[in-house]
């Protein structure tokens, strides 16, 4: 009986050590002031699912929210009272796999990983100004044990896409 408890204790310690890891996401700013105000305003006009699959989560809505949140953080989110016409973003979900926190906890590499690949275009009228693609995943060691951790990929992809397309500005 004692040997079973020791084995279980060792497995628990090993699991907790393997689940620790560094995050790819930059540390959040501690500034509590309003977001910066940019003269350039951007509006998300379309997000589509080009995977050809139906998912049990709203991949379009989650990516749209991730893009909007990233624009708001930069002070670039278009509102109807903005004086100039906005630039537009059109995005596509190229690949999505929800994954499983339980499977990630089994310590088998890449088993249960959540993966999201998306791309977007920044347009001024019909002219494409910039385009970008992002691939993010939630795996063991990057918040992978948490239930609902798969939601992180949508905000991470939205943040990366916006940072890539506004970089040339």
Residue 41, domain CATH: 3.40.50.10610
**For 133-153, what is each residue's pLDDT tens digit?**
999 987 755 444 556 667 788
CB 130 within 8 A of CB 164: yes
- Residue 80 covered by a domain: yes
- Give 15's DSSP letter: H
**What would the two tokens of residue 53 be?**
């699959």
Can you give the pTM of this predicted structure?
0.73
- Residue 1 covered by a domain: no
Q: Taken in order 159, 165, 168, 169, is the CA torsion positive or negative?
A: negative
CB 64 within 8 A of CB 49: no
CB 58 within 8 A of CB 21: no
Region of 141 (left: φ > 0; alpha: ψ -120 to 50; beta: rest) is left
CB 131 within 8 A of CB 108: no
- Residue 47 covered by a domain: yes
When divided into structural domains, the chain yields a total of 1
CB 73 within 8 A of CB 28: no
- Residue 131 covered by a domain: yes
**For 31-64, what is each residue's pLDDT tens digit?**
455 567 778 899 999 999 999 999 989 999 999 9
């Amino acid at each position: 009986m004692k040997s079973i408890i020791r084995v279980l204790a060792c497995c628990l310690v090993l699991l907790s050590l393997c689940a620790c890891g560094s995050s790819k996401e930059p540390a959040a700013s501690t500034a509590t002031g309003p977001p910066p105000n940019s003269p350039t305003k951007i509006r998300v006009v379309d997000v589509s699912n080009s995977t050809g699959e139906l998912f049990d989560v709203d991949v379009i809505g989650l990516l749209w929210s991730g893009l909007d949140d990233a624009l708001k953080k930069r002070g670039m989110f278009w509102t109807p009272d903005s004086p100039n016409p906005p630039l537009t973003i059109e995005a596509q979900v190229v690949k999505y796999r929800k994954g499983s926190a339980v499977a990630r906890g089994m310590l088998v590499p890449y088993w249960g990983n959540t993966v999201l690949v998306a791309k977007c275009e920044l347009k001024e009228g019909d002219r494409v100004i910039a385009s970008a693609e992002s691939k993010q995943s939630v795996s063991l060691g990057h918040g992978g044990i948490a239930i609902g951790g798969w939601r992180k990929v949508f905000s991470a992809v939205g943040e990366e896409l916006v940072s890539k397309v506004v970089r040339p500005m």
